């Protein structure tokens, strides 16, 4: 049994995409994290900060996107979305997944909020360094970990699409556009995009993003 906690047009959309790529049955619970007070207090038993995503698989709770992605892709190897432990692309796969959560996301959030800081002030470093690195690896590789699509692409692809095309914080780069062109035409992504467009009608609308 696989249960997925989701808010449309949020960070959990990347896990929604992953679930569709995996092709496994799952139950979705839609939460309104943007409502006054956020998700219900009872949800803290699943996710301590009342954030999405979270999944429960056969009674095991997994939170944080990188952890969820690694767990699910390894739990369902028949989908072919996780390089084996001894594969050459396992290291860039894991690195890119964690980088998305630990560096890209907080650097974008800091930039969107107009935070000015030095490279050593925060563990995630400078926004400009993040952009430069991301542009470099996506110029050298067809996909996040190498020459083939993996679960890491659901995370990096979602992050780039949202922060560049919706939030308008990540700058447009040819490498980013070319990369998105390789991943967002996948049927699973298209299904999730259409479903999120319907689900958003039932929750608090997405806020307007303005770069500061």
Q: What is the pLDDT of residue 210?
A: 40
pLDDT (tens digit per residue) in 1-44: 999 999 999 999 999 999 999 999 999 999 999 999 999 999 99
Place of tokens 């050593």: 120
The residue-averaged pLDDT of 48-64 equals 98
State how far the Cα of 115 lies from the Cα of 186, in Å rounded to an integer.
35
In DSSP terms, 30 is beta-bridged to: 6
Domains 2-80+190-202 and 90-186 share a fold: no
The residue-averaged pLDDT of 130-145 equals 98
pLDDT (tens digit per residue) in 168-197: 999 999 999 999 999 999 999 999 999 999
Q: What is the pLDDT of residue 179?
A: 98
* Both structure tokens of 165: 């095309």
State how far the Cα of 13 lies from the Cα of 9, in Å rounded to an integer.
6
> Which residue ranges make up each domain of the chain?
2-80+190-202, 90-186
The residue-averaged pLDDT of 101-106 equals 97
Q: Which of the four pLDDT bands, split at 50, 70 and 90, describes residue 144?
A: very high
State how far the Cα of 60 lies from the Cα of 200, in Å rounded to an integer.
28
The residue-averaged pLDDT of 115-140 equals 97
Closest CA to 54 of 106, 2, 108: 2
* Both structure tokens of 95: 């690195």
Torsions phi, psi for 48 (to 5 deg): -60, -25
Give percent above pLDDT 90 in the chain.
94
Q: What is the pLDDT of residue 207?
A: 66
Q: Are 49 and 41 in contact (CB under 8 A)?
A: no
Domain spanning 2-80+190-202: which CATH class is it, in words? alpha beta
For all residues of the chain together, what is the average pLDDT? 95
State how far the Cα of 71 lies from the Cα of 55, in Å rounded to an integer.
10
Identify how many contiguous H helices and E strands the chain contains and give both numbers: 8, 4
Q: Which of the four pLDDT bands, split at 50, 70 and 90, describes residue 211?
A: very low
Residue 24 burial (CB count, 10 A):
14
CATH of 90-186, one of 3.40.50.12160, 1.20.1050.10, 3.40.228.10, 2.60.40.10: 1.20.1050.10
What b/e sequence results for 152-179 when a residue is b if at least 16 CB atoms lie within 10 Å of its CB, and e otherwise? Answer: bbbbbbbbbbbbbeebebbeebebbeeb
* 3-class secondary structure, 208: coil
Q: What is the pLDDT of residue 212?
A: 32
pLDDT surpassing 60 at residue 150: yes
The residue-averaged pLDDT of 50-62 equals 98
Q: What is the pLDDT of residue 188?
A: 98
pLDDT surpassing 50 at residue 162: yes
CA geometry: angle 207, 209, 212, nearest 5 deg:
140
Q: Which of the four pLDDT bands, split at 50, 70 and 90, describes residue 209?
A: very low
pLDDT surpassing 80 at residue 206: no
Residue 204 burial (CB count, 10 A):
13
């Amino acid at each position: 049994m696989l249960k997925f906690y989701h808010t449309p047009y949020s960070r959990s959309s990347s896990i929604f995409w992953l679930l569709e790529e995996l092709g496994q049955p799952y139950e979705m619970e839609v939460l309104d994290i943007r409502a006054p007070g956020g998700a219900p207090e009872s949800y803290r038993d699943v996710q301590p900060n009342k954030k999405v995503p979270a999944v429960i698989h056969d009674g095991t709770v997994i939170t944080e996107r990188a952890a969820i992605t690694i767990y699910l892709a390894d739990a369902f190897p028949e989908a072919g979305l996780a390089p084996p432990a001894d594969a050459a692309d396992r290291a860039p796969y894991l690195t890119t997944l964690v980088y998305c959560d630990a560096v890209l996301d907080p650097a974008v959030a800091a930039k969107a909020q107009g935070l000015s800081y030095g490279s050593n002030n925060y563990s995630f470093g400078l926004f400009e360094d993040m952009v430069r690195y991301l542009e470099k690896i996506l110029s050298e590789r067809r996909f996040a970990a190498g020459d083939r699509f993996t679960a890491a692409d659901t995370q990096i692809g979602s992050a780039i699409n949202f922060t560049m095309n919706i939030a308008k914080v990540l700058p447009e780069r040819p490498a980013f556009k070319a990369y998105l062109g390789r991943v967002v035409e996948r049927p699973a992504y298209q299904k999730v995009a259409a479903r999120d467009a319907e689900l958003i009608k039932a929750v608090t609308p997405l806020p307007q993003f303005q770069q500061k």
